[in-house]
Amino acid sequence: MRSLLLLATAAALAADLPPLGRISDDVPCLDEPSQSYALYLPSNYSPDRNWPVILAFDPGARGRIPVSGTEHLYAVIDGNFPARNVWEFVVRAPAASSEPIEVRPRSTPNLKVWAELPNRSLTFPRATRGDARGKRYCKVSLADPTGERTKDLVRGDERHELPAWFDTLQTRMRLKQNVRPTRGTDGEALVILVSPDDHAAMIRLFFAMKVWVLKERVALA
């Protein structure tokens, strides 16, 4: 039997949702109960809107492998704003160290400028080269306040054009090609290193690249 991992989008599941934020094994298929799949729903899943779907097929019936790990929930207060400054974040740490850590907001303050951020995330793959080996890194990808694009990837030669709140991060910046082998054209992309267990630093980077950029309407020249 081949297993299927499903990140559900169907609103029909609302009547009998499995536990959120963890994997449910052996969920039977409606039309063929003798067949089953592993199902993962994010901790902030709601049938009130459409969600992306990821299908993973494994010949060894190991359906839980792609999303095995732990979700950590964090309440965050952004002291840069006197009101509407309470956030909730999810950090998903995979069981396999070779998989990326994912950071995303679970809930945001009630401001239009941040309304779409629960649909955005930062990922932190493992660095494998030089002095960065064993750490995690994230591409510097700024939110686009114009709404024309979902993000603006920053190159290494643009590092000094970043907003002032990136100044203290300069010593942790590298080119992507210096922290991990690359086969594509993103070797000159700017990345920032973090310790693998420093979830607070990862959340701060989400604020630096998404939250504050949208609020201040920052755009690189």
- The pTM (predicted TM-score) of the whole model is 0.73
Q: Amino acid letter at 132?
A: A
Read off the pLDDT band of 2 (50, 70, 90).
very low
Instruction: Tell me the C-alpha distance between 135 and 97, whole Å.
Output: 11
**Better-scored residue on pLDDT, 5 or 61:** 61
In this structure, of 53-67, 79-93, 108-122, 146-160, the range with the lowest mean pLDDT score is 53-67
Name the token pair of 11: 């609103």
Cα–Cα distances (Å) from 27 to 5, 38, 52, 54, in that order, read 10, 6, 19, 16
